[in-house]
């Protein structure tokens, strides 16, 4: 018997055999999240996107909580304690449905919950994390400001001591989950440096007006945060961190999820193009039989599965405690950039149909324009890698 006869068949859905790297529990988690997204998101998301709304977000959050997807890689306090790879697989499946759903989960778990879990007091953890893990309380994360996106050190939001209390004032911008959040983790300048505050959103002086007229992440809720002399007790401050190390470590954790998630949007677009190419006929035969179309499909598949391999490698490093922030920047820069290119190429295969919401391609492409910018623009990640490669700081 020849060696080639013992080889497994080629799988167009997994051309590199990446599934062989996954454990049975990894596959079970992936399939569970994929099944939930197919049932609860995919039948409705085009309509949500067209209307610019995410109805029933609190119900979706509770369902995601029951799956263990909120604060998934955190331990204790009702969190699932999953591996980084398992969390990444969940992000991929959620973003294959829509970037807005993955953003809901990322902001909840990798930003708001992660900040409390890593830097909070035991009292803060017990008060918030179990309910957030269950999806009973939705959280948001306030770092970006109207005039200070990539330069958070220049934030104007400030908190001043007043007796035993803190008084918090300022504005944050582009805050996912803001309109429905029950708790906000807000970063502010203080006399001691930048500090994080756990802010119940029903506090007097706190408001989260929703941002409308978005042409990206439309199946997601986004707001400003407006804080007008919000009085907080001394116990509201996150006690275990001072300075930008706090919010930046949270962002690094969230960016890791994006490395996987972007490949979900790319996979969805690639699959739509592949199916279309096999059935759409021009000049008497399927367009998938033409050389130019096959070249596009081959290039898309190469970049898609290279990106998944990269995400898997970074996940293993995170599980081993060896993942550096520069490596997360490497993954975010590459995978989001390539995902957008895959979406654009898929659109060309679908032709005019590519702009229709009957197909997911244009929705994913416009969503990824936001993903490309948030949690570190292309330029910021290029400079992170440039500094790491040369030892020279070009940020200033």
Distances (CA, A) of 358 to 46, 165, 220, 352: 7, 53, 19, 12
Phi, psi at 47, each rounded to 5° = -70, -40
Which positions are catalytic? 375
The arithmetic mean of pLDDT across residues 45-52, rounded, is 97
Burial grade of 84 (CB within 10 A; 0-12, 13-18, 19 or more)? buried
The arithmetic mean of pLDDT across residues 179-191, rounded, is 97
> What pLDDT digit, counting tens, does each position of 250-267 carry?
999 999 999 999 999 999
For residue 1, is pLDDT > 80? no
Q: Is there a contact between 254 and 111 (Cβ–Cβ < 8 Å)? A: yes
> DSSP class of residue 6?
G
If DSSP states are collapsed to H, E and C, what string results for 80-129? CCCCHHHHHHHHHHHHHHCHHHHHHHHHHHHHHHHHHHHHCCHHHHHHHH
> What pLDDT digit, counting tens, does each position of 321-350 carry?
999 999 999 999 999 999 999 999 999 999
For residue 207, is pLDDT > 90? yes
Task: Write down the pLDDT at residue 2.
Answer: 61
How many whole angstroms separate alpha carbon 292 and alpha carbon 271?
17
Task: Write down the pLDDT at residue 153.
Answer: 83
This prediction's pTM: 0.95
How many whole angstroms separate alpha carbon 70 and alpha carbon 104?
9
For residue 149, is pLDDT > 80? no
**Residue 277, both tokens:** 């190419």
Percentage of the chain surpassing pLDDT 90?
A: 94
> What pLDDT digit, counting tens, does each position of 219-251 carry?
999 999 999 999 999 999 999 999 999 999 999
The arithmetic mean of pLDDT across residues 361-386, rounded, is 94
- Domains along the sequence of the chain with CATH: 18-134 (1.10.540.10), 139-243 (2.40.110.10), 246-390 (1.20.140.10)
Q: How confident is the model at residue 4 (pLDDT cuts 50, 70, 90)?
A: low
Task: Write down the pLDDT at residue 3.
Answer: 60
Q: Is there a contact between 145 and 155 (Cβ–Cβ < 8 Å)? A: yes
Mean pLDDT estimate for the chain: 96
Q: List, in order, residues 6 or more apart from 287 with CB less than 8 Å away.
A: 276, 277, 280, 281, 293, 349
For residue 173, is pLDDT > 70? yes
> What pLDDT digit, counting tens, does each position of 285-319 carry?
999 999 999 999 999 999 999 999 999 999 999 99
Side-chain-side CA neighbours of 313 within 13 Å: the count stands at 12
For residue 152, is pLDDT > 90? no
Q: How confident is the model at residue 6 (pLDDT cuts 50, 70, 90)?
A: confident
Percentage of the chain surpassing pLDDT 70?
A: 99
Burial grade of 286 (CB within 10 A; 0-12, 13-18, 19 or more)? middle
Distances (CA, A) of 77 to 116, 121, 123, 125, 361: 11, 13, 11, 7, 38
For residue 5, is pLDDT > 80? no
């Amino acid at each position: 018997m020849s060696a080639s006869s013992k080889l497994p068949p080629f799988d167009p859905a997994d051309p590199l055999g990446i599934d062989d790297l996954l454990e049975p529990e990894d596959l079970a988690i992936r399939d569970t999240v994929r099944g939930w997204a197919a049932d609860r998101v995919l039948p409705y998301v085009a309509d949500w996107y067209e209307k610019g709304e995410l109805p029933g977000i609190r119900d979706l959050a509770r369902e995601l909580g029951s799956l263990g997807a909120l604060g998934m890689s955190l331990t204790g306090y009702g969190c699932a304690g999953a591996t980084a790879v398992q969390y990444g697989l969940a992000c991929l499946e959620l973003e294959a449905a829509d970037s807005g759903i993955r953003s809901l989960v990322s902001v909840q778990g990798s930003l708001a919950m992660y900040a409390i879990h890593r830097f909070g007091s035991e009292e803060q953890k017990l008060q918030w994390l179990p309910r957030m893990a269950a999806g009973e309380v939705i959280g948001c994360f306030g770092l970006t400001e109207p005039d200070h996106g990539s330069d958070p050190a220049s934030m104007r939001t400030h908190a001043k001591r007043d007796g035993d209390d803190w008084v918090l004032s300022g504005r944050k911008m582009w805050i996912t989950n803001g309109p429905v959040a029950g708790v906000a983790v807000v970063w502010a300048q203080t006399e001691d440096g930048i500090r994080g505050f756990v802010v119940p959103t029903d506090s007097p002086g706190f408001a989260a007006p929703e941002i409308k007229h978005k042409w990206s992440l439309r199946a997601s809720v986004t707001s400003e945060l407006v804080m007008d002399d919000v009085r907080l007790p001394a116990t509201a401050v996150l006690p275990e961190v001072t300075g930008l190390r706090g919010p930046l470590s949270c962002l690094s954790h969230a960016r890791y999820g994006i490395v996987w998630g972007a490949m979900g949007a790319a996979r969805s677009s690639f699959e739509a193009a592949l199916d279309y190419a096999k059935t759409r006929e021009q000049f008497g035969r399927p367009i998938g039989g033409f050389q130019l179309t096959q070249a596009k499909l081959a290039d898309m598949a190469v970049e898609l599965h290279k990106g998944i391999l990269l995400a898997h490698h970074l996940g293993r490093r995170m599980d081993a405690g060896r993942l550096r922030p520069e490596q997360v920047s490497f993954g975010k820069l590459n995978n989001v950039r390539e995902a957008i290119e895959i979406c654009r190429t898929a659109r060309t295969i679908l032709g005019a149909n590519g702009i229709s919401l009957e197909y997911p391609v244009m929705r994913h492409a416009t969503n990824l324009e936001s993903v490309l910018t948030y949690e570190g623009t292309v330029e910021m990640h290029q400079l992170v890698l440039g500094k790491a490669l040369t030892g020279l700081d070009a940020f200033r």
